[in-house]
Amino acid sequence: MDGSSFNPAHNAAAKAGGQEPRKMEAMRGEGRDQARKSQGEDRVSLSRQKAADETYKAEAARAELSPQFTLLRDLVAKTLREQEAHFSIAVNGEQKGIEDLTPEEAQELVAEDGYFGVEQTSQRIVDFAIGLAGNDPDKIDAILEGVERGFQEVEKAFGGTLPEISHQTYDAIREKLDDWVASFEEQQ
């Protein structure tokens, strides 16, 4: 075999002196015209022109979300997961499994000024968000949306409820972001 595909219509048309290819082309044209007339149904086009794709507009809009705000959402989710379910941590320079922590060490980590406490956790999230926004307060709605989605994802991951420390962290983030926006309004 020479590697070419077998096409009975083409071979028969070649034998008939070229009449068949014109009939085939006419049939293709009729099929295109009929497909164009069918409104609201799936269509197939045999032309070389690309048809406008209206089907995936909502998906495309979601895909156009800024990668920075997707990062923010993921950071919020990750940080909140760490507050509740971090399996090993460095305590006083020593790596320890969460189950090996003494009650005092665990309490120190989630205390108000501890690494996983409300203050430090909320400040890390706010600093990250403001950095992603390029210190632009006009992006506050997108920042708040990213924070909200992050909390929703974590809440879903934890079966629909979060510990009180997570709610306090959320409130602290909102307060810090409000203060940040207010500082720009005062300057004007």
- Residue type at position 9: A
Q: What is the pLDDT of residue 84?
A: 57
**What's the whole-number average pLDDT of the chain?**
71
Residue boundaries of the structural domains of the chain: 1-51, 59-187
**Residues 178, 173: Cα–Cα separation, whole Å:** 9
pLDDT at position 83:
61
Instruction: Quote the pLDDT of residue 179.
Output: 95
Mean predicted confidence (pLDDT) in 111-116: 85
Q: What is the pLDDT of residues 125-135, one digit of tens each?
A: 999 999 988 99
Burial of 147: CB neighbours in 10 Å, binned 0-12, 13-18, 19+: buried
Cα–Cα distance between 72 and 50 in angstroms, integer? 37
State the amino acid at position 81 in one-letter form.
R
Give the CA distances from residue 156 to residues 75, 118, 126, 127, 150, in Å, rounded to whole numbers and listed in that order: 16, 20, 22, 25, 10
Examine the pLDDT at 174 and tell me if it is beyond 60. yes
Q: Does 100 or 29 have the greater pLDDT score?
A: 100
The model's pLDDT over 34-49, given as tens digits with 9 standing for 90+, comes to: 544 444 555 544 545 4
Question: What is the distance between the alpha carbons of residues 149 and 126, in angstroms, rounded to a whole number?
Answer: 15
Q: Which residues of 153-174 are buried (b: 16+ CB within 10 A; e: fewer)?
A: bbbeeeeeebeebbebbbebbe
Backbone dihedral angles phi then psi of residue 138, each to the nearest 5 degrees: -65, -15
User: Which residues, in sequence order, are bridge partners of residue 95?
Assistant: 90
pTM summary value: 0.51
pLDDT for res 122 = 94
Average pLDDT estimate for 15-20: 48
Phi and psi based region of residue 134 (left: phi greater than 0; alpha: psi -120 to 50; beta: remaining): left
